[in-house]
Structure 1
Amino acid sequence: VKTKAERKEKKMPGIIVGIDGSSHSRRALDWAINEAAIRHAPLTVLTVQQVMRSFWAGPMIYPEDAELAEHARKIAQEETDGALGKLAEDARPPAVTVLAVPGLPAETILDVAKDADMIVVGSRGAGGFKKLLMGSVACQVTHHAHVPIIVIPAEES
């Protein structure tokens, strides 16, 4: 765990949490907020506006993707503000940034979090395959991350 002075000196981004509006990502957001507050670490809330993958190269980003990403950022900001609003001022992280980036979810999370202290994701996202124990994005991130990753499980029923 890096001290506040070490993070400031190295400009560490702190904790990155990926959200997509699902109940799993809301649990990940709550956990990441609490962990960032405990560690006095900055928190970056990241939502990815998924784009198409081209057959020959990486993601295909169109001009309208930036507008869709901004809409996603506003929704993520509202979700983050709601989660922070439940906490006392002294129980919040020192800094919270909300980003929305057009791209491929796992690749984008890994790119944004390459120098992070940790990555937090929900075990499954908004995708369909409910029988999977872990969603495809969480699985890809856990296999390729070069920083610690926390996968928040589904709420027990």
Structure 2
Amino acid sequence: MDTVEKKQRICVLAVDGSKHSDLALKWYTENVHKSGDKVLLTHCVDHRKHLTYGSVSMVPGNPDSITHAFAAEEKKAKELMEKYVADCKKLGLHDVDLVKVIGEPGDGIIKAAEEKKADMIITGCRGLGQIRRTMVGSVSDYILHHSHVPVFVCRH
């Protein structure tokens, strides 16, 4: 009898600490997850906000302000990922890896999915209105339009 080896599915789960990310993780676990899946918790650290002239972190006379802002952002990202690892364990997800991306979230998630040869991407959705989404963009819209693998956008 021939045995067919099942390919492990690689699932990128975009997380940002929002309730929408939490709900997307729960939805993935209840509706999509299969035994043997590898979950890649993917978080983007976007330092651009600290480099904008006039931002809080650009305090005149304090050359270390950007360094401190970056360090605080990295610490926050580490704590966030630790929280999601604990959440995954509680939900029964055991094959979980962390992927930290530096830069713009939409592009970073797409690149991580391509590099890791993901089979799907799961993300939450903040539910921005049409005008706000047009003005500031939407990470989930970006992912939907640029991904080469199936994308689950969890709206709640």
Is TM-score (shorter-chain normalized) higher than 0.5?
Answer: yes
Structure ID, larger Rg: 2
* Residue 36 of structure 2 is aligned to residue 40 of structure 1: yes
TM-score (norm 2): 0.68
**In the alignment, residue 28 of structure 1 is paired with which amino acid?**
A
Secondary structure, aligned partner of 2:142: helix
Are 1:23 and 2:22 an aligned pair?
no
Give the % identical residues. 24
Q: After the TM superposition, which of the residue ranges 16-25 and 45-54 deviates more from structure 2?
A: 45-54
Residue of 124, 129, 132 corresponding to 1:131:
129
Q: TM-score, normalised by structure 1?
A: 0.68
1:8-87 matches, cutoff 5 A:
14-34=10-30, 37-52=33-48, 65=70, 68-85=73-90, 87=91
CA-atom RMSD in angstroms: 3.0
**Structure 2: runs of 5 or more not aligned:** 52-65
Structure 1 position 93, deviation (Å): 3.3
Does the residue aligned with 1:106 lie in a helix, a strand or coil? helix
Instruction: Give the structure 2 partner of residue 105 of structure 1.
Output: 105
Q: Which residue of 2 aligns with 1:146?
A: 148
Residues 116 and 70 (structure 1), Cα distance of their counterparts in 2 relative to 1, 3 Å cut: farther
Task: Report how many residues are paired.
Answer: 131
